Amino acid sequence: MSMRKKSDIQILNKKAKFEYIILDRYTAGIQLFGTEIKSIREGKASLVDSYCAVEHGELYVKQMHIAEYRFGSYANHEVRRDRKLLLQRREINKLEKATKDNGKTIIPLRLFINERGLAKMEIALCQGKHTYDKRQSLREADDKRQIAQVKKLAQFS
């Protein structure tokens, strides 16, 4: 088994930037139980199809998948459970107010281990993109790729 540095662990939600327009970003702590942190340190987590919701004045991430820890016993954690996110009260209130607007949601962008060894999640207040916006994003990415290729070829000429 290869040992990774704490800061190497970054689980990304790659679809988020394609599916949503990112309006505002926050970094939140995440409340974990038992063997969940060990699985995250092994990189065995996924943010696909996960989202955040405010319930009773607290922020939760829902549908986030953290695989069972392979050396865990009967006390292993549930794979998909609601996990509490730790933000300041004013930030939670701001997010709750913003999500009451039509078309806005809170999406996790990445899960990482900070330099102190704590699990943190970067979340964003987002608005869903329309199909034509997605096509525009693809076009822009393709243009950037072509420009980079031309620059690379010009550099070697």
Q: Is the pTM of this model over 0.95?
A: no
Quick one: CA torsion of 132, 134, 137, 141, rounded to 10 degrees?
A: -120
Domain boundaries, the chain: 7-129
Which DSSP state fits 13? -
Query: Six-digit token pair at 89?
Result: 């009260």
Which DSSP state fits 16? H
Q: Which of 1-10, 45-54, 129-138 has the highest mean pLDDT?
A: 45-54
Per-residue pLDDT of 5-24, as tens digits, reads 555 778 888 888 888 889 99
Residue 70 has pLDDT above 80, yes or no: no
Phi and psi (nearest 5°) for 6?
A: -55, -40
Distant-in-sequence, close-in-space partners of 12: CB < 8 Å, separation ≥ 6: 47, 109, 110
Per-residue pLDDT of 72-117, as tens digits, reads 766 677 778 899 999 999 999 999 999 987 779 999 999 999 999 8
Considering the domain 7-129 in this protein, what is its CATH number?
Answer: 2.40.280.10
The three-class DSSP label of residue 144 is helix
Which DSSP state fits 26? E
pLDDT category at 1 given cuts 50, 70, 90 is very low
pLDDT category at 35 given cuts 50, 70, 90 is confident
Average pLDDT across the chain, whole number: 86
